[in-house]
Structure 1
Amino acid sequence: MTTRFKPSQIKLILTGERLFSEQGVDGVPLREIALAAGQANNTAVHYHFGSREGLIAAISAYRIAELDRVRGRMLADLARQAKPADLRELLKVLFLSQLEIADDRGCHPYAHFMVQYLTRHRPSGTRHASDMRDGDSQSLHALLDLIETRLPAIPARLVRQRLELLNLSFLAMLVRNDNARLFGGSCRSLATDAAEMIEMALGAISVPVAVSDG
């Protein structure tokens, strides 16, 4: 089922995402998010989403729907090509689509949020909206299925595990690039970093399965 949010909920989602990215997912009081979003009721997050975990789920649902539209458009462009998309092109759809989720400074607060989610909250069992194949993640799962077909020698489960780790690396690159620009550090262009990450991912995803030690 496609998730629909009211304007007041979207304001809370975007404010929560920004503050989580700046101060940490566990470091921001929910009433601070409500006040920063211009809500008269400082319990607005609890009212709309029930809890911090509910807000985390809402952020992921809102962004996965946005990303799915971008990925759907990119997949449609590939489908119009004369030949089937190769693995590099499919990885570009998966990773480069995330460059479009940026704020008015050109920064990527969703990437900052996701790095924290993937390293802290997902391992503890907090699910992501993209875990379900229907609704707002159909393009994502169609893309993952296509990537799996390009890697027949690697078990599908391992392909998904590798992609999650590679996506974490891509998101960490965005965070590092953002912080370097914001705080005056030296960095290469985002386009250069992103292109190199695609080549790194292409090599890593294709590595033969290691022999188990038993």
Structure 2
Amino acid sequence: MKAAPDIAARRLSLILAAERLFADQGLEAVSLSQVNQAAGHRNASAVHYHFGSRDGLVEAVFDHRMGLINPRRLAIMDRLAEEGRLTELRPLVCAWVQPFAEELKPRDEGNYSLRFLERLLRDEPLFIRRNAIKDLGAFWVTGWKVAEALEALLTYLPPQIARMRLKLLRLQVISGLAAIEARGDHEMTDFQIEALIDCLVGGLTAPVSHQAMQALRGGTD
């Protein structure tokens, strides 16, 4: 009767150990033997048994986190829809940020998920080329649901400008929260999150400069 819970616990210990090591060292720098050792497994093939490969382990780590983050965001979007607030810019930006920001709450095993996600986002082209993660787009799917609502509020901008700002938003959310996680200053976390949201809203709504428009036109005036 204990077999299934024991297997689940061993699998989770590998996921948490890998998340920490990937966050600290990068996805390609960590050996599977390091993960086994950090998780306290004497069986050298534990990762291969549970995940098949390094790429399977990476996928399991982000599935573990996004399995929590995506439902949080959908719940926020449902609430905004019920309240008729899907046309308000800051609440939509919050809907993108807050599900990730929940990962900043202190955990016994430490907080590494946002730095892991930043590493994954940075290495995403590598995983796409290797077809390591079959549907990486699903990883960000609820974020892009928010992006669609935001894009509808930015129709006064040139389309390429709006799309670029949303792509930058995606990067800035993860990198900003990963930096907050790395600082570990829990007393200031709420302030840092709200300040980040302010910056993101400001970036989306900033006036389009002459320089940006000139660059968009290929450098011609």
Cα distance in 2 for residues equivalent to 1:83 and 1:75: 9
Instruction: Tell me by how many angstroms 1:17 deviates.
Output: 0.5
- Which protein has the bigger helix share? 2
Q: State the structure with more CA Rg.
A: 2
Q: Is the counterpart of residue 93 in structure 1 residue 95 in structure 2? A: yes
Q: Is the counterpart of residue 61 in structure 1 residue 63 in structure 2? A: yes
Q: Which moved more, 1:154-163 or 1:169-178?
A: 154-163
Match of 2:38 in 1: 36
Q: Which moved more, 1:146-155 or 1:158-167?
A: 158-167
Instruction: Tell me by how many angstroms 1:112 deviates.
Output: 0.9
Alignment of 1:78-157 (within 5 A): 78-102=80-104, 103-104=106-107, 108-119=111-122, 121-126=123-128, 131-132=137-138, 139-154=142-157
Match of 2:196 in 1: 197
Number of matched pairs: 201
Cα distance in 2 for residues equivalent to 1:107 and 1:169: 23
Q: Which moved more, 1:67-76 or 1:81-90?
A: 81-90
Match of 2:27 in 1: 25
Secondary structure at the counterpart of residue 50 of structure 2: helix
Cα distance in 2 for residues equivalent to 1:128 and 1:155: 33
Match of 1:178 in 2: 181
CA contact 1:65–1:137 (8 Å) conserved in 2: no
Cα distance in 2 for residues equivalent to 1:130 and 1:155: 28
Instruction: Tell me by how many angstroms 1:67 deviates.
Output: 0.8
Unaligned runs of 5+ in 1: 1-5
Runs of 4+ in 1 over 4 A off after TM superposition: 127-130, 154-161
Q: 1:176 to 1:139 in 2, by over 3 A?
A: closer
Cα distance in 2 for residues equivalent to 1:213 and 1:85: 30
- 2:73 aligned to which of 64, 71, 74: 71
